[in-house]
Structure 1
Amino acid sequence: MAPKVGDELPDSTLYEGSPGGAVKIRELFAGKKGVIVGVPGAFTPTCSKTHLPSYISNFDKLKEAGADVVVTVSVNDPFVMEAWGESLGVGDKVRMLADTRCEFTKAVDLSFDATPFLGNERSQRYAMLVVDNVIKAVNVEASPGEATCSLADPVVELLKAM
């Protein structure tokens, strides 16, 4: 069952930059408002050409609408996530977090079997608004190859409405 408004974030650890760069998601969102952007895979076409770039180019709008933190989560290793972020020039705008064992993605029930395309279970494409560890909105794409409701523009409007 997909996450619902009012659910709390799971107590999961993600990784930033290296296997030693543990980030506890509940600590990251404690007392903060932000966005978790779930993507099927680093360097994949839709993720690299459309989805994540929408958050980079709209970062100032996200901040103005109240986002304290913006993170991208993918079932990849932290080295790949760091390289992908560098290739897109995310700088300090978007934190690139690796869900190395798909634990966070499964805990929020947003995984799918991508074995035929990407070799393993991966994250669905989504945007999740979180305030102090409580899920306030979730936009999940109908297909992992689509990026519409999970792009930054609709998320900015959701943030403004909060």
Structure 2
Amino acid sequence: MDEKKPKEDSEMDGHDGRVHFPTDQVIEHDSEIIVKKDSEEHVSVHLGFLEIHHQYEIRFTIKDTLGEDVLQDPLQNLHVKILEIPPSEDGEGHEVVLDLHAHKEKLWKEELIITNTDKTASLTITLHARVLGKGKGTPSLKTGIHCTGINVDDDSEQGSDWQGFD
């Protein structure tokens, strides 16, 4: 006798029980930094997931009308520093290179302001990311984001040689 085994629900509909998105959508959202021009004075940059206590170099291009040379206050942000901001190859904006320290586990939002040389126009760049805490996994970094180091917090158990009470 040939007994037929009932098919699982996932076998019946040809799916494996996971959500599937179109390939082009997955590639766009998973691998690229999303730069969205909200207005002439504001750009939102979505970096995706980062890991707590990690140092990153981030590189992306913005479209702007500030001219070739721009100014920025090097002390405007403790956790993000603009390393370079040369004109983009197409001449329609700038390539931004940042040094970022993911210092807290949270939905992370920081602002940087760049101005033209005569200070008559400015652009606010708002950076968005989700910083994962210890033990929450290792994020897949988007194109243009590179981990440059790990900063162990002095108060963390990794940074201490104290063995605890017996």
Q: TM-score, normalised by structure 2?
A: 0.26
* Structure with bigger gyration radius: 2
Identify the structure with the greater strand proportion.
2
Higher helix share: 1
